[in-house]
Structure 1
């Protein structure tokens, strides 16, 4: 008895602990299937193959009798019976637990077939559309499609039948395709559905023509799909091109010459195209000869570039607003509403503060991020007065120009009447309460025609219109040093200090040169340098001294290293300023039409550099007008 208990107890414990607490052991349920197969003459058919498929599992057996009986786990199956010489039989069945399912199946003699009685390729427009697909068959067939933009009206059918294909609207920019499969046993047919999007223009770009190589301007229009041109017409009537448009279509790209196109301009065209299925696109479009462009209401007062954050600061009047613009994205980062008659702006590298001066106001204003101001009064210094036009001694109280070095010391131009021509220099020290003072140095008596800080922000470069040299102020030594070009007799006009190295562009009347203020090296160009030119160095160049100059209707690429002018573009409006990012990737310009509209444009640096890196052999020369263009005067 003891031995019996010893054996039985572990058995009971094993049975008890074999299931965890709360678990119920799975019990499978089965059903019985009985299939009787005959032909259309009610004669028994044996030797057929019966297959039951559920999910990824499939069970197939050959029945030697006309009656097949077997047990299967309860559930849903696809039952298929096939035998050589007969058409396959397929049907979905449900086997219920503990039940007998009996089926009488008739196999028809012959071979199964599956045919399409409609197009196997459907090219559809972008709108939501219903299409019909017709099937010829003598057996059961099913449809399959995996796309999310197609709905099929029937998942399965028998014999000759049809189904509808409903497509959702294609709102994308690309052509999409999907394949519908119709299956009947080993037979398969396919219907390829291709749906086109609405015809859209993805990008337009106007490429200015190089005057130096007599290359005409051209335009490229990129569509989101291959197109066929119906009509193209210029709607810009202020220029009559001597060269016909002669458009060429290469798949989805439409290109043509347009000799009226000028750098920074925008031109209207009427265009009509169609795609391969007959959808049409007809619109009036504007094509700009730039990458991006911002339009402002108002007139440009001045600008400032801050390389610390790749920002371009634009001071406007009517309305009086200061804009901070990202030079890479050309997005407006901030807008600062200002008081009326702001005339001066600079960013102090010592404290990264924005300084503003107003016409007729004896103060400097530091702009805070919350649009409040800190006021720095300009105090009267009776020891330094200047005669006005009435021969009266007048104090200089009104700021007209200001540039700081990184030490906080700067040069401030103060005028008695707000006119830069009636101003003189004062020192200002942001590191010591914005103290102002002057010395007896002769340079303190000048007014600056142009003034900016050098690349390491330790020196200030300026020139006076009537002098044959420019001046370098060193904030460390507080000394003024005169720098001459090779031409010591022509009067100076403007200076532009490189923001990347020690080079300084010095424009004199009928002479221009680049002087390195550290090494003393001096390169010059023989092309005439007239008043009102705008210049900046090309910071994308590594081994050459190259710059962009805007004047007299053109933007020129000046290669001082090789004494060449390989590129010159006609501009649409005079550029108040031209500059570029420190990597040279983007060129930024500001322009106005004098009628209350202004623009900031962005151009790719490659436009100004691609040919300049090649040996074009073009020497410096004076540019002349296109002979093939007739331009009519207009407000631009």
Structure 2
């Protein structure tokens, strides 16, 4: 055994050797690098909004750093304005401005110059859209379009000069193409059948109707229209035009005659595999039902009888005309109809516009200033309002008191226009393509 003093000596020597090894080890370890300095932020445009209205400072440009605006100017040579209403965002990292020359549906070029706090200057060009979304079909024209019953899809038919024909589905919220299916012929009409969920497209040139399943995304059958015993032997009515179906599968189809101006309507019965036939009698009342539309929760079809010179209502149960009444507007040609998806109101328009109830036939009001109605407004605070076009302006109009709520210049000419039933979007289709406008683009005015 070691003495106590010897033991302490050995322990001291051990600690000295250990410290010496540790010191040598630390001598070989490189020192930690100094902390990196933060990289300077480069001045850049990081986001921008589209224009909402031409009358408010709705265009925002957002940058990576605090900035000062040197200038913002339009490069659109046909309209230059100095009043662009520039104002900064609360963090000074952006600014907003307006462009009073804008027309809804167009794109405009701008140039901006900004300088940050370090003296760095950024000058660049940018295009600003005055619409929410758009899709164009190069070389193709839109022939017909409808909204799906749930308003989630826009169904349309297209054609081009080479007679290539397509049936396309777009998502209503983004205009994304959901399917694109070939169609054997150009279309004269497109219609949804609530009985079986199929889409019926009438041929422009042949006695045929093409039936598509939008869920399976395919053509399921082709209906060939044959001459019926009741048809005129020389000019049989076999070329389909517009088609409308009620909930229980009963429908009507207007049919042209080759070489004749005559048009007849016949029954198309989806409960009998889309059999087509005349009703109980064939007389003048079977002359065409112009601009046929669905009313009263898709249980009846309303249209204009040129033979009777009255508006007629056909019921899905009796499968015949159950009511006729005078048009609430003067008629020199077949009037058009636009039915509300929220209630029993309908617009009747042609030589002026009237607003009536399909249950009572009561006429609410007339408007004879020559604007073209688009659709009812389905926004919650606008129960008696419609959108339309007048003198190349979008109009929001209260049809009970005749007041215009707003008027915005329009840079496109839509053929088909729909407001979604939730009131959030206005969809327009025409030669220029399909446009989507957010409802917030149509705010303003005092009479709501």
1:246–1:256 contact (8 Å) kept in structure 2: yes
Relative CO higher for 1 or 2, CA cutoff 8 Å, sep ≥ 6? Answer: 2
The 8 Å contact of residues 235 and 258 in structure 2, kept in 1 or not, is answered as no
The alpha-carbon distance between structure 1 residues 462 and 220, as it changes in their structure 2 partners (threshold 3 A), is same
Task: Provide closer, same or farther for how the CA distance between residues 500 and 417 of structure 1 changes in structure 2, counting only shifts above 3 A.
Answer: farther
Contact 1:465 1:493 in 2 (8 A): no
Which residue in 1 is equivalent to 2:227? Answer: 380
- Residue in structure 2 matching 1:417, options 235, 239, 258: 258
Q: Distance in 2 between matches of 1:535 and 1:394?
A: 36
> Which residue in 1 is equivalent to 2:5?
none
CA contact (8 A) 1:217 1:260 kept: no
Unaligned runs of 5+ in 1: 1-33, 35-68, 71-96, 104-152, 157-162, 167-192, 210-215, 387-392, 593-597, 617-636
Shift in Å at residue 365 of structure 1?
A: 1.4
Matches within 5 A, 1:396-545: 396-417=237-258, 422-438=262-278, 439-440=281-282, 442-448=284-290, 450-454=291-295, 456-463=297-304, 469-480=310-321, 481-484=323-326, 486-487=328-329, 493-510=335-352, 512-529=353-370, 533-541=372-380, 544-545=383-384
Shift of 1:467: 8.1
1:74: which partner in 2? none
Which structure has the larger Rg over C-alpha atoms? Answer: 1
1:284-306 Cα offsets, whole Å, 9 max, x none, are 32111111111222111111111
- 1:376 Cα shift? 1.2
Give the drift of 1:606.
3.0
Q: Distance in 2 between matches of 1:523 and 1:196?
A: 62
**Is contact 1:325–1:333 with CA below 8 Å preserved after alignment?**
yes
How far is 1:231 from its partner? 3.7
Q: Per-residue CA shift, 1:51-83, capped at 9, x if unaligned? A: xxxxxxxxxxxxxxxxxx99xxxxxxxxxxxxx
Partner of 2:32: 155
Q: Which residue of 2 aligns with 1:290?
A: 131
- Looking at structure 2, the residues matched to 351 and 615 of structure 1 have their Cα atoms a distance apart, in angstroms, of 43
* 1:234 equivalent among 61, 74, 80: 74
Q: CA offset at residue 197 of structure 1?
A: 5.8
Distance 2:364 2:206 in 1: 42
Distance in 2 (alpha carbons) for counterparts of 1:252 and 1:464:
63
Deviations 1:301-324 (A, max 9, x none): 111111235211121111422221
**Alpha-carbon distance change, 535 to 488 in structure 1, aligned in 2, over 3 angstroms:** same
What CA distance in whole angstroms lies between the structure 2 residues aligned with 1:343 and 1:269? 42
| Other-structure match for 2:150 | 308
- Residues 59 and 97, structure 2, Cα contact 8 Å, conserved in 1: yes
CA positional deviation for 1:442 = 3.9
Change (3 A) 1:485 1:341: closer
2:444 equivalent among 605, 611, 614: 611
Structure 1 residue matching 2:235: 3-state secondary structure: strand
1:417 deviates by 3.5
2:95 aligns with 254
The equivalent of 1:165 in structure 2 is 36
- Structure 1 residue 402: Cα displacement: 0.8
> What's the CA shift for 1:102?
4.3
Asked if the contact 2:114–2:121 (Cα under 8 Å) also holds between the matched residues in 1, the reply is: yes
- The Cα shift of 1:367 comes to 2.1
Structure 1 position 247, deviation (Å): 3.4
Give the structure 1 partner of residue 210 of structure 2: 365
**Structure 1 contact 494–506 (Cα < 8 Å) conserved:** yes
Distance 1:464 1:270, change over 3 A: farther
SS of the residue 1:385 aligns to: coil
Q: Deviations for 1:360-401, whole angstroms, at most 9, x for unmatched residues? A: 211111124353441111011242228xxxxxx311221111
Return the alpha-carbon distance in structure 1 between the equivalents of residues 151 and 447 of structure 2. Answer: 35
Cα deviation per residue 1:86-124 (whole Å; 9 max; x = unaligned)? Answer: xxxxxxxxxxx9986448xxxxxxxxxxxxxxxxxxxxx
Change (3 A) 1:279 1:243: closer
Task: State the 1:515 CA deviation.
Answer: 0.8
SS state at 1:165 partner: coil
User: TM-score, length-normalised on structure 1?
Assistant: 0.60
Match of 1:571 in 2: 410
In 1: Cα distance, 2:42 partner to 2:195 partner: 55
| Larger strand share, 1 or 2 | 1
Corresponding residue of 1:601: 435
Structure 2 unaligned spans of 5+: 1-7, 21-29
Q: Secondary structure at the match of 1:206?
A: coil
